[in-house]
Amino acid sequence: MTESPRYSALLQLIDERSAAFRSAVAAAPSLDVPVPSCPEWSLSDLVQHLGTGQRWWAAIVAAGPAEAPPAKPAAEVPREPEALLAWYAESNELLLSALREAGPERECWVWWGAGVSPATARGVARRRVHEVLVHTYDAQLAAGDVQPMPADVAIDGVAEFLDTCNSTPAAWPHEAATVHYHATEGRSWILTLDGTGAWPAPLTDDAAPASASATGTAEQLLLFVWGRLTPSDLKTEGDQQVFEQLIAWEPEE
């Protein structure tokens, strides 16, 4: 697992990125505007998705260790803009309160339990930072005013995605491969794909050569792994089919 920010910093980032998300939504001409990066969603749908997610993960963290998650909340979501933003702010505070009360090491159900990210409140906090970070980009795109991501947060976002979404003991169903990701800010990662699964790590000088590689800013890499950009938006080398296979892969553990 890649080293992540301190727990208190993660909670602060959730709060800061959520404030940026609310600002982007408030700046949009209407809650009905489409979100280009989330096909078939309006901005209202995006707010409901993120707010409901914050409430669900608050309940998951509060429940502690469990074999299955609690049911997703079915609360009434307001449609009027000010009320909807207030509902989202309340959703975010519910999550932060649950995380503060739990502390970083409390175990809980997570969907990534077989990977390298921890099944703890710390793992949830880190995941929610980047969920809000990317959906803030989505909201800014819908509002027509995309702002640069903080570079250090985007760097951790790439590492977190690999740790959480691209780590699994499920066997890679294709020819073994290695993918290198290079951020122009000076950080690089390797993802090894073989019969033992998918395993990310910081890239070292003695690492296996890349079957395929992608280079861009940390923000570009983050948006790429989250499906907002395509390989053609970055500098890529090697076997492009590996990226296609990785994007299409849905491992069953």
User: What confidence tier does 218 reach under pLDDT thresholds 50, 70, 90?
Assistant: very high
Question: In this predicted structure, what is the pLDDT of residue 2?
Answer: 61
How confident is the model at residue 181, as a pLDDT? 98
> Region 135-162: what's the mean pLDDT?
97
* Confidence at residue 252, expressed as pLDDT on a 0 to 100 scale: 74
Confidence band (pLDDT; 50, 70, 90) for 82? very high
Mean pLDDT of 136-164: 97
How does strand 212-216 pair with strand 177-183?
parallel
Name the pLDDT band for 3 (thresholds 50, 70, 90). Answer: low
68-72, 102-106, 188-192: range with lowest mean pLDDT: 68-72
Chain segment 22-49, per-residue pLDDT in tens? 999 999 999 999 999 999 999 999 999 9
Q: Residue 239: pLDDT above 90?
A: yes
CA distance linking residue 241 with residue 250, whole number of Å: 16
- Asked whether residue 74 carries a pLDDT value surpassing 80, the answer given is no
**Residue from 2, 46, 207, 71 nearest 142 by CA:** 46
pLDDT at 1: 58
pLDDT for res 187: 97
pLDDT above 70 for 20: yes
Q: Which residues contact 47 (CB under 8 A, 6 or more apart)?
A: 25, 31, 84, 85, 88, 139
What pLDDT score does 72 carry? 86
Task: For 42-63, write each residue's pLDDT tens digit.
Answer: 999 999 999 999 999 999 999 9
pLDDT of residue 113: 87
> How many of the other CB atoms lie within 10 Å of CB of 192?
18
Rounded to 5 degrees, φ, ψ at 32 are -90, -5
Confidence of residue 190 (pLDDT cuts 50, 70, 90): very high
Question: Are the C-beta atoms of 86 and 26 separated by less than 8 Å?
Answer: no
